[in-house]
Amino acid sequence: MFTDDQKLTEKQKGILAAATELFAEKGYAATSTSEIAKKAGVAEGTIFRHYKTKKELLLSVVSPVMVKVLAPIIKRDLNKVLDQEFETYQEFIRAMIENRIEFVQSNLPLIRILIQELPFHSDLKEQFIEHIGKEVLGRFRQIVKHYQAKGQIIDMHPDTIIRMTGASILSYIVPRYVLIPEANWNDEEEIDRIIHILSTGIATG
């Protein structure tokens, strides 16, 4: 996760890796800095040389997700859409899922931590809303309107469309990577199904 970040020393990478694993497993509040130190193979004091407080360590663990996972969604994919690279909304969604899925998978612990801790840290929450709630949502609204204007998706409040799209994706991601990753998953087929239902619904004829 942090292995390719060249600005970090070996010790720092170890600390971040240990913290990530423990925060994901036990939660931030229930993880002690001494545990992190032991797992990282450093002295406890070393943690505090690099991160002034335990909270700062949490932010250092979690903020890359915001930057690395979410920023690309905004910048790359949105431009592709407006550059007409995707004929349909469905293609756009499929590309987004496929493109990001591996990334999400390898950063899953970070994302889990982010989601789990979000309700308890108002600063994290604000940072998140600032980055995601406003920017990402805004861009997605544009995209939805773009395809509505093209007559490809129904004329409904964009937020509802977005929520349903997001929920559909999560209906695959969460069981696939969080709840029962050990099951046999045929990724391509599952994505097909989701997009199919999202497009034409579950009702017959």
Partner DNA sequence: CATGAATGAGGCTTCATTCAT
Partner DNA sequence: GATGAATGAAGCCTCATTCAT
Judged by the rule CB under 7 A, the positions of this chain that interact with DNA are 9-12, 31-35, 42-50, 52-55
Report the candidate in 54, 73, 159, 168 with the shortest Cα–Cα distance to residue 111. 73
The CA distances from residue 3 to 19, 39, 58, 81, in Å, are: 14, 16, 18, 32
Q: Kindly state whether residue 184 participates in binding a second copy, applying the rule CB under 8 A.
A: no
How many Å apart are CA 32 and CA 29, to the nearest integer? 8
- Pick one of a second copy, DNA, none as the site partner of residue 43 (Cβ within 5 to 8 A by kind): DNA
Residues 6+ apart with CB under 8 A from 59: 124
Residues 41, 47, 50, 53: what is their CA dihedral angle, to the nearest 10 degrees?
160
SS3 157: coil
Least Cβ distance, residue 56 to DNA (angstroms): 8
From candidates 50, 112, 131, 141, binder to a second copy by CB under 8 A: 112
Q: Is 71 in the site for a second copy (CB under 8 A)?
A: no
Please report whether residue 94 would count as binding a second copy according to CB under 8 A: no
* Per-residue x/- track, 126-155, a second copy (CB under 8 A): -------------------------xxxx-
Please state the closest distance from residue 125 (CB atom) to a second copy, in A.
Answer: 10
Which of residues 22, 37, 110, 194 is near a second copy by CB under 8 A? 194
CA 54 to chain centre: 23
Q: Which residues bind a second copy (CB under 8 A)?
A: 25-27, 29-30, 89-90, 112, 116, 119-120, 151-154, 156-157, 160-161, 163-168, 170-172, 175, 190, 193-194, 197-204
